[in-house]
């Protein structure tokens, strides 16, 4: 392949010479002139030593080598990693709070204890920051059910728990939505019938599954007003097809990761005992 | 030029005068072997996966990779080691140390160069810059223009290595950042069309610099089945000429073996990627036969 794709460097005689194409020097010329030419070329070559004869590979071998436990580990690398590993593990295993029960995102239909815990926790951690920066209160929170990646087990809640439950690097944003956008948001939730975690928002669906009523902080929604909605940057970007977040007036970036906010929240609670409640229900 | 090559060539020249231009074909019969090792998308996976892991039990681990690389270097000192990006993000090591440990370990493993992946912007272009003092290897990327960022001057479009007299040109390519990385993270980094840049680089390295081997370190992805026209390693290979090997990343593609692709001139070349998380090491050996008449035989590819 290679040998055909690059033209012979005809302008560089020394290189040409050394590529083994001696026939091209010219068999029709006399011996005398040929010898002269060779001598000339040789001197030329010796004075331009950086001109390497071009090299051409004749064979390629390719393979993939699996890194498995049968390979010997480098003790020097092991020793170098160890203090880092120790510090990370110690920090990950540091106890933040205590869970009185085991909480899973599958324990509930339209709302779950673990989802309520996270949505309420994010609201509690974010609202003071948002208020300080914007002068407004956050009206309600909505994140995605799929963002909860593990259970919280009964017992100690550690930093590792927070990493397991929220491995993604998503950050908190506050989106200013018009009443129209809030309406779309409610219709989305009514149609999805999934326990997307919410806080400060109450939704009732009728027996047929249609939106019956909704309240923000216990008050009826004014669709002519605007609302400040806490969510994450994944949903703002159109994740889970929550496209209503794109129709916002303003986005406030808090520079606060979801996981870090929850770690900070757990630190403020000696124990957590969240419950499934009536924030999002379907009337029977 | 190495002294050995000088002697070899001087001797050849002297012999030539004596023989009057005859018997040139056999002036060197030595075969040179260049070994290229590579990883991609290691994503901060420093420790091996545990025995309980559902997908990759007991696989990966930097200390084991170090042992393997050391034994390969012992077997062939003419070895280069590259990474195709996404060094960062994936374990708490990154969250705690911001990439410091990843760069320090890659330096200890004597990586020669890495290209830049989208996740390497996860702490922003400033976060990447902050870790540069820990990296004793080069960052190579030809299609990100860092001019108006802190990374300006710290990323080379390409680098040329002389290994055992073989001239090896390596250039890097990054994936489109818009839609993948928050603008506030990559800031004024400008993404340029990788296919066009790749041909420019290949012309420069193969024709102007006369490299014996041209390697592309790519983080643009192996292939996009749902978006067949998106720039990818397979599309890049088919649309260009002069590249001998594309070392890929981004799509976490596990291949049974390196893919042999025909470039736009119909010449065969290799595209490889080794999955992710440091589970595999790619190894490509090139055998150079400097004495061979270059029009005589084709290249045999054994994968």
Q: Residue B10: which of A36, A48, A34 has the closest Cα?
A: A48
The beta-carbon neighbor of A38 closest among B21, B27, B280 is B21
A13 occurs within a structural domain: no
Contacts of A46 in chain B (CB under 8 A): 10, 13
Distance CA A138, CA A256 (A): 15
- Contact call for B89 and A169, based on CB within 8 A: yes
- Contact call for B287 and A66, based on CB within 8 A: no
Q: Provide the domain limits for residue A127.
A: 91-279
- CATH code for the part of the protein at B3-302: 3.60.21.10
How many structural domains does chain A have? 1
**Gap from A224 CA to chain B (nearest CA, Å):** 32
* Contact B274/A at CB under 8 A: yes
The beta-carbon neighbor of B97 closest among A57, A58, A84 is A84
Q: Which residue does chain A place closest to B300, by CA atoms? A: A59
Mutate to test the interface with A, among B19, B95, B261, B271 (most CBs of A within 10 A): B95
Q: Which residue has the higher pLDDT, B146 or B12?
A: B146
When pLDDT is cut at 50, 70 and 90, the band that residue B291 belongs to is low
CA dist A80 → A86, A271, B10, B64 (Å):
11, 37, 47, 13
Query: What's the rounded mean pLDDT across residues B220-240?
Result: 96
Query: Within 10 A of B158 (CB to CB), how many other CB atoms are there?
Result: 23
Q: Indicate the burial class of A70 (C-beta count within 10 angstroms; 0-12, 13-18, 19 or more).
A: exposed
A46 occurs within a structural domain: no
Q: Which residue has the higher pLDDT, B295 or A273?
A: A273
- Contact call for B294 and A67, based on CB within 8 A: no
A3 occurs within a structural domain: no
ipTM confidence: 0.88
Q: Which residue does chain B place closest to A78, by CA atoms? A: B63
**Gap from B65 CA to chain A (nearest CA, Å):** 6
**Gap from B281 CA to chain A (nearest CA, Å):** 5
Residue A259, domain CATH: 3.90.780.10
- Contact call for A71 and B46, based on CB within 8 A: no
pLDDT at A50 over 80: no
A62 occurs within a structural domain: no
Segment B112-135, tens digit of pLDDT? 999 999 999 999 999 999 999 999
When pLDDT is cut at 50, 70 and 90, the band that residue B183 belongs to is confident
> What's residue A26's pLDDT?
32
Distance CA B181, CA B118 (A): 7
Q: Taking CB atoms and an 8 Å cut-off, how many pairs form between chains A and B? A: 222
Contacts of A55 in chain B (CB under 8 A): 32, 165-167, 212, 288, 290
> What's residue B6's pLDDT?
40
Q: At CA B114, angle to CA B112 and CA B120, rounded to 5?
A: 145
Query: What's the rounded mean pLDDT across residues B87-98?
Result: 92
The residue with tokens 């990586």 is B111
* Contact B50/A at CB under 8 A: no
Q: Do A114 and A148 touch, CB atoms closer than 8 A?
A: yes
- Contact call for A57 and B288, based on CB within 8 A: yes
Domains of chain B: which residue ranges? Answer: 3-302
Segment A122-135, tens digit of pLDDT? 999 999 999 999 99
> What's residue B290's pLDDT?
67
Backbone angles phi, psi at B92, to 5 degrees: -60, -20
- The DSSP code sequence of chain A is -HHHHS---TT-HHHHHHTT-GGGG-TTS-HHHHHHHHHHHHHHHHH-TT-PPPP-EEEEEEEEEE--TTSPPPHHHHHHHHHHHHHHHHHHT-EEEEESS-B-TTS-SS--HHHHHHHHHHHHHHHHHHHHHHS----EEE--GGG--S-B-SEEEEHHHHHHH--S--EEEEEEEEHHHHHHHHHHHHHH-S---EESEEEEE-TTS-EEEEEETTEE--TTSEEEEEEEHHHHTTGGG-GGGGS-SEEEEEEEEHHHHHHHHHHH-S-B-----SSEEE--
- Contact call for A25 and B242, based on CB within 8 A: no
Q: Which residue does chain A place closest to B61, by CA atoms? A: A67
Segment A132-149, tens digit of pLDDT? 999 999 999 999 999 998
Segment A258-283, tens digit of pLDDT? 999 999 999 999 999 999 999 999 99
Q: What is the dihedral of CA A281, A215, A188, A131, to 10 degrees?
A: -120
The dihedral through the CA atoms of B189, B190, B195, B200 has a sign that is negative
The beta-carbon neighbor of B280 closest among A66, A73, A253 is A66
Contacts of B184 in chain A (CB under 8 A): 253
A76 occurs within a structural domain: no
When pLDDT is cut at 50, 70 and 90, the band that residue A53 belongs to is low
CA atoms within a 13 Å half-sphere pointing along the CA-CB vector of A41? 23
Query: What's the rounded mean pLDDT across residues A79-100?
Result: 96
The beta-carbon neighbor of B96 closest among A61, A63, A88 is A88
Q: Residue A272: which of A96, A123, A23 has the closest Cα?
A: A96
- Contact call for A74 and B242, based on CB within 8 A: no
pTM greater than 0.80 (yes/no): no
Overall residue count recorded for chain B in this entry: 303
Of chain B, the percentage scoring pLDDT greater than 70 comes to 88
- Contact call for B286 and A4, based on CB within 8 A: no
* Contact B109/A at CB under 8 A: yes
Backbone angles phi, psi at A64, to 5 degrees: -120, 135
Segment A172-210, tens digit of pLDDT? 999 999 999 999 999 999 999 999 999 999 999 999 999
- Contact call for B64 and A73, based on CB within 8 A: yes
Distance CA A264, CA A280 (A): 26
The beta-carbon neighbor of A6 closest among B207, B283, B299 is B207
Query: What's the rounded mean pLDDT across residues A83-98?
Result: 96
Give the distance from CA A151 to its chain's centroid.
20
Distance CA B12, CA B25 (A): 11
């Amino acid at each position: 392949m290679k040998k055909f794709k690059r033209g012979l460097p005809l302008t560089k005689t020394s290189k040409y010479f050394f590529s083994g194409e001696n026939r091209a020097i010219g068999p029709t010329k006399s011996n005398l002139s040929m010898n002269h030419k060779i001598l000339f070329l040789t001197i030329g070559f010796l004075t331009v030593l950086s001109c390497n004869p071009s090299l051409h590979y004749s064979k390629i071998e390719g393979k993939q080598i699996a890194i498995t436990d049968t390979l010997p580990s480098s003790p020097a690398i092991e020793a170098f990693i160890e203090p880092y590993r120790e510090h990370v593990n110690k920090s990950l295993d540091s106890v933040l709070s205590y869970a009185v029960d085991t909480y899973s995102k599958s324990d509930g239909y339209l709302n779950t204890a673990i989802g309520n815990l996270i949505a309420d926790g994010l609201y509690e951690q974010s609202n003071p920051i948002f208020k300080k920066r914007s002068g407004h209160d956050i009206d309600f929170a909505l994140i995605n059910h799929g963002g909860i990646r593990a259970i919280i087990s009964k017992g100690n809640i550690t930093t590792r728990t927070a990493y397991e439950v929220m491995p993604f690097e998503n950050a908190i944003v506050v989106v200013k939505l018009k009443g129209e956008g809030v309406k779309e948001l409610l219709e989305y939730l009514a149609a999805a019938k999934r326990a997307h975690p919410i806080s400060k928002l109450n939704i009732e669906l009728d027996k047929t599954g249609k939106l019956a009523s909704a309240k923000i902080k216990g008050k009826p929604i004014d669709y002519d007003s605007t609302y400040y909605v806490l969510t994450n940057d994944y949903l703002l970007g159109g994740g889970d097809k929550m496209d209503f977040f794109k129709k916002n007036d303003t986005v406030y970036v808090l520079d606060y990761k979801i996981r870090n906010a929850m770690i900070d929240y757990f630190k403020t609670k000696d124990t957590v005992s969240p419950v499934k409640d009536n924030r999002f229900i379907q009337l029977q | 030029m190495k002294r050995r090559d000088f002697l070899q060539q001087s001797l050849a020249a002297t012999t030539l005068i004596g023989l009057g231009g005859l018997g040139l074909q056999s002036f060197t019969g030595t075969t040179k072997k260049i070994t290229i090792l590579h990883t991609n998308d290691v994503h901060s996976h420093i420790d091996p996966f545990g025995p309980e892991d559902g997908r990759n039990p007991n696989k990966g681990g930097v200390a084991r990779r170090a042992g393997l690389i050391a034994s390969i270097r012992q077997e062939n000192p003419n070895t280069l080691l590259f990474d195709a990006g996404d060094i960062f993000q994936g374990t708490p090591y990154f969250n705690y140390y911001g990439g410091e440990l990843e760069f320090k370990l890659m330096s200890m493993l004597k990586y020669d160069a890495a290209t830049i992946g989208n996740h390497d912007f996860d702490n922003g272009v400033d976060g990447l810059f902050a870790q540069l003092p820990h990296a004793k290897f080069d960052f190579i990327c030809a299609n990100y223009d860092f001019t108006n960022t802190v990374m300006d001057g710290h990323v080379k479009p390409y680098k040329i290595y002389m290994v055992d007299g073989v001239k090896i040109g390596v250039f890097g390519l990054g994936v489109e950042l818009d839609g993948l990385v928050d603008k506030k993270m990559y800031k004024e980094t400008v993404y340029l069309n990788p296919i066009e840049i790749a041909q420019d680089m290949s012309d420069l390295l193969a024709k102007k610099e006369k490299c014996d081997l041209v390697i592309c370190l790519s983080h643009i992805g192996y292939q996009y089945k749902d978006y067949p026209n998106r720039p990818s390693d397979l599309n890049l290979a088919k649309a260009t000429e002069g590249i001998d090997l594309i070392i890929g990343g981004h799509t976490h593609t596990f291949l049974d073996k390196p893919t042999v692709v025909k470039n736009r001139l119909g010449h065969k070349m290799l595209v490889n990627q080794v999955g992710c998380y440091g589970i595999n090491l790619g190894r490509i050996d090139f055998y150079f036969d400097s004495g061979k008449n270059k029009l005589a035989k084709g290249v045999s590819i054994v994968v």
